[in-house]
């Protein structure tokens, strides 16, 4: 190590604790204070040729003070940004909560379910669609549907099961989400 390097090591050893205490006073964080002091000494070491030996200590104190003030300014900016983000998240959460609370759970997925149901019904044959509607909407039994349409009971049953499975498959995602809401709203 050079003579200048030895002098800087000496300055560091003799003043490190004082500088860390000073930095801590300014930033109120021990780890940050140590980092600032270490960075200031590293910067000083890199500029050792351009700094006069008599001004080394004042240079290092000034560097530490400036770094601490920069840290506080940056921390204040970060804190303000975090606070604004937190406030925005809170407002969004309130809006979502209000929207959900003001909406009847039965209506949450109603339009989507009707759209999917209409799409699936249009894919069914005319006979399957009539059987599906008579069974699910009109509440008729397979036997009653067979008598009205003049077709065998087993055919009605087979076509009704096929139509129900097709509609249920298309609605699976919505049924999984909607069912608990519908059930809970019924018991509230």
pLDDT in tens, 44-89: 888 878 777 778 888 899 999 999 999 999 999 898 888 888 888 8
**Phi/psi at 108 (nearest 5 deg)?**
-55, -45
Q: What CA–CA distance (Å, rounded) separates 156 from 150?
A: 10
Tell me how far apart the terminal alpha carbons of the chain are, to the nearest angstrom: 80
List, by residue range, all CATH 1.10.10.10 domains of the chain.
105-186
**Crossing angle, helix 3-27 and helix 30-46, to 10 degrees?**
150
Q: Indicate the helix (H) or strand (E) that contains 70.
A: helix 56-102
- CATH fold label, 3-77: Rna Polymerase Sigma Factor; Chain: A (1.10.1740)
pTM: 0.47
CATH of 105-186, one of 1.20.120.160, 3.30.1600.10, 1.10.10.10, 3.40.50.300: 1.10.10.10
Question: In this structure, are residues 69 and 59 in contact, taking their beta carbons and an 8 Å threshold?
Answer: no
Q: Is the pLDDT of residue 131 over 80?
A: yes
Which DSSP symbol is given to 137? T
pLDDT digits (tens, 9 = 90+) for 138-163: 889 999 999 999 999 999 999 999 99
Question: In this structure, are residues 165 and 171 in contact, taking their beta carbons and an 8 Å threshold?
Answer: no
List, by residue range, all CATH 1.10.1740 domains of the chain.
3-77
Overall average pLDDT of the 2-25 stretch: 84
């Amino acid at each position: 190590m050079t003579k200048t390097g030895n002098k800087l090591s000496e300055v560091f050893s003799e003043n490190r604790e004082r500088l860390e205490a000073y930095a801590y006073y300014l930033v109120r964080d021990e780890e940050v204070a140590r980092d600032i002091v270490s960075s200031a000494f590293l910067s000083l070491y890199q500029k050792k040729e351009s700094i006069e030996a008599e001004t080394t200590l004042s240079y290092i104190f000034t560097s530490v003070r400036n770094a601490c003030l920069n840290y506080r300014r940056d921390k204040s900016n970060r804190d303000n940004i975090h606070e604004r983000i937190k406030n925005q998240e809170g407002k969004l959460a309130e809006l979502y909560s209000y929207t959900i609370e003001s909406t009847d759970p039965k209506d949450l997925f109603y339009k989507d379910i009707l759209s999917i149901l209409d799409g699936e019904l249009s894919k069914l044959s005319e006979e399957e669609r009539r059987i599906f509607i008579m069974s699910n909407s009109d509440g008729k039994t397979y036997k009653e549907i067979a008598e009205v349409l003049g077709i065998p009971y087993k055919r009605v049953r087979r076509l009704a099961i096929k139509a129900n499975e097709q509609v249920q498959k298309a609605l699976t995602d919505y049924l999984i989400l909607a069912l608990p809401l519908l059930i809970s709203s019924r018991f509230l």
